[in-house]
Structure 1
Amino acid sequence: MTHALLRINPSAEAPAATAINPERVLSGAPKEIIENLFTNAKENFFCGVWSSTEGKWTLNYTEDEFCYLIRGKAILTDAQGVAEEINAGDAFVIPAGYQGTWETIGDAQKFYAIYEEA
C-alpha cells in the first residue's frame, strides 16, 4: 500500500456510462459514470469522480458522503419534500439515513468521498 499523496481529478478516459437502476428512476433515462479512484484498506472509505446525465431517481443512503459539484446543477429533495438546489462550486454532505430524490438538470459532475460503517 502506498502512502503517497493521491490527486483526485476527472479522467480524460472515463469508464463508459451505465444506466441508473430503472427501479429507482422517476423521470428521464439517466446514466452515470463512477470513477472510484481510492479505496482504503478497510474498504469502507471511497473517493473519486461521479457524473450523470439528466434525470431524477430515488436515494436511500446507508453511507455518509461529502460532495463537491464540479459542474452542472442538481436538485436534492428529502423525504419530507424539502428541496435543495446544488450548483457547480457547491460543497455538501449527504448523511447516512438520507432518503429522497436526486435530479440532475442537464449533465452534472462531482467529486465524492464516501464513508460507510463496517
Structure 2
Amino acid sequence: MIIDIVPGYAGADANIEEYRPDAEKIISGDPAQWLRTDYITETGNGTFDGGEWRSQPGKYKVSFSGPEYCEILEGESIVTDLEGNAKTVRAGDRFIVPAGFEGTWEVTIPCRKIFICFTL
C-alpha cells in the first residue's frame, strides 16, 4: 500500500466550503465558518477526514458522532457539554472531542484549528 500524501496549504483551495451552522443550532452571534478538507476517505464504518476549520465569534449547538482530534492554531473557544462542564481552548491547545459529545461550541475570539475526525 502506498502512503497517501496530504496536500499542503498551497493549491488546496478547491476543497474550501464557507457556511454557517443551521439557524436552529445558533444560540448567539453570527458564527460564519470556513472549512478546508485536505483528506477524506470512506471506510466500512464511516468517513475519516482532516483539514482546517475557521470560525467567527458566536455560540452554537454541536454533536459529534465520532471522535475528533483538534489543535487550536489561533483564537479562543469555550466547549461546554450538556451538563454545563466547560473547557476554554486557546492557540496551542490540543484535545480530543469524544464520540457522542453533545453541547455547545462558543467562539469568543476568531478561531482557527486543524482537525482529524472519524464520522459514523
Aligned to 2:86: 83
Aligned to 1:62: 65
Q: Does 1:34 align with 2:35?
A: yes
In the alignment, the residues of structure 2 paired with residue 15 and residue 90 of structure 1 have an alpha-carbon distance, to the nearest angstrom, of: 24
How many residues get paired? 117
| TM-score, normalised with respect to structure 2 | 0.85
CA gap 1:96/1:16 in 2 versus in 1, 3 angstroms: closer
Note the C-alpha offset of 1:38.
0.2
Which runs of 5 or more residues in structure 2 are unaligned?
A: none
Mapped contact 2:16–2:37 kept (Cα < 8 A): no
CA gap 1:10/1:83 in 2 versus in 1, 3 angstroms: farther
| Structure with more helix by fraction | 2
Query: Partner amino acid for 1:6?
Result: V
Aligned to 2:25: 24
Query: Partner amino acid for 1:105?
Result: T
Aligned to 1:51: 54
Deviations 1:40-62 (A, max 9, x none): 25262100000000000001111
Aligned to 2:3: 3
Answer with 38-47 or 95-104: which moved more.
38-47
Q: CA RMSD in A?
A: 2.3
In the alignment, the residues of structure 2 paired with residue 11 and residue 32 of structure 1 have an alpha-carbon distance, to the nearest angstrom, of: 20
Show structure 1 runs of 4+ deviating over 3 A: 7-16
CA gap 1:107/1:12 in 2 versus in 1, 3 angstroms: farther
